[in-house]
Amino acid sequence: MAYAGLSTDLSVGTATQVAGRDAYQLGLVPRTDGTLVERVLVAVDAETSTPLRVQVWSTQDARTPALEIGFTDVSFEAPDGGVLDFSAPAGASTREVEVPLPDPADHRPGRADALTAVPEGVSVSGTGWETVVAVDGVDVAGLLAGDPASAAALPGVERSFGSAGARTSTASSSARTAPPVCRRSTPRGSTTSSRRRCRRVVCCPRRCCRCS
C-alpha cells in the first residue's frame, strides 16, 4: 500500500456485496494523465480480506468499466473430504507414494538485482502508471488469437497452456522468430483487414501493443 501510494491516490469507498458476501471497496486513482486508466476499484471480502472483484475504468468512458472480473459465487468453507475419494477401475493395481514436502531451509533467497532484472529482448522505461514495456520478436497476432506456439518467442520461463491441443514450450531469451504481425484498424463498413510486419512491439497503459 505504501508503494502504491507513491503514484496513486488510495481511498476506501462505500460497502457493497459481491457473490452474496459483504465487502469494502478499495479505490485507486492514478496521479498522472499519462495512462488510459481512469480508476480501479477492488472489492475486498470484509471477513477474509480476499479480493472478490476488480473493476477498471478507462479515461474514455467513466461510466462503464472497461474491465471487470470477479466472483459470482464463492465459499471459504473447507471442501468435503469425499471429493478426494478414488475408486480404482477393475483390473488396475494401485500403490501408495509418499511425496516429501520441500524444506524451507533449502530455499535460498535470490539476489536483490534479480528482482528487477529483465530477460534479453525486453526493456522497461518509466515508472508507476507510465511504465512502458518493450518486447522484441513477439507474434502479437498469434498471442491475441490464443496460438500456444506464439509463446515460444516470449522471453522468460517455461509457459504452460492447458487447453485442448495446446502444448508446453520453453521460451528462450536467445530465440529469434519472424517479425510479429499486427492488425491495422479497419475502416467502419469495410469487409477486409490489413496486416503489417513489425520489428518491435511496445506495450504501455497509453498505447497497448504498438508496432514500430
Question: How far, in Å, CA of 156 to CA of 173, rounded?
Answer: 7
The mean pLDDT of 60-87, rounded to a whole number, is 91
Instruction: Give a yes or no: residue 77 inside a domain.
Output: no
Both 205 and 119 in one domain: the answer is yes
- Domain that residue 58 falls in: 4-70
pLDDT at site 189:
46
For the chain, the domain total comes to 2
For residue 140, what is the enclosing H or E element? helix 140-144
What is the pTM for the complete model shown?
0.54
Percent of the chain topping pLDDT 70: 67
Q: Which is more confidently placed, 148 or 46?
A: 46
61 has a pLDDT exceeding 60: yes
Domain assignment present for 76? no
Mean pLDDT score, 3-24: 92
Domain membership flag for residue 33: yes
Residues 205 and 120 in one domain: yes
Same domain, 123 and 66: no
Query: Is the predicted pLDDT of residue 15 greater than 90, yes or no?
Result: yes
Residue 205 reports pLDDT greater than 60: no
In a domain, 15, yes or no: yes
**Does one domain contain both 202 and 128?**
yes
Report pLDDT digits (tens) over 160-184. 544 444 443 333 333 333 444 444 4
User: Is 101 within the bounds of a domain?
Assistant: no
156 compared with 57, residue with greater pLDDT: 57
For the chain, the 3-state helix, strand and coil shares in percent, each to the nearest 5, are: 15, 30, 55
Same domain, 200 and 125: yes
Predicted confidence at residue 100, as pLDDT, reads: 87
125 and 53, same domain (yes or no): no
128 in a structural domain: yes
Distance CA 116, CA 80 (A): 42
Asked whether residue 201 is domain-assigned, the answer is yes
Q: Nearest-CA neighbor of 74 among 115, 45, 35, 100? A: 45
Angstrom distance (rounded) from CA 172 to CA 150: 12
32, part of any domain: yes
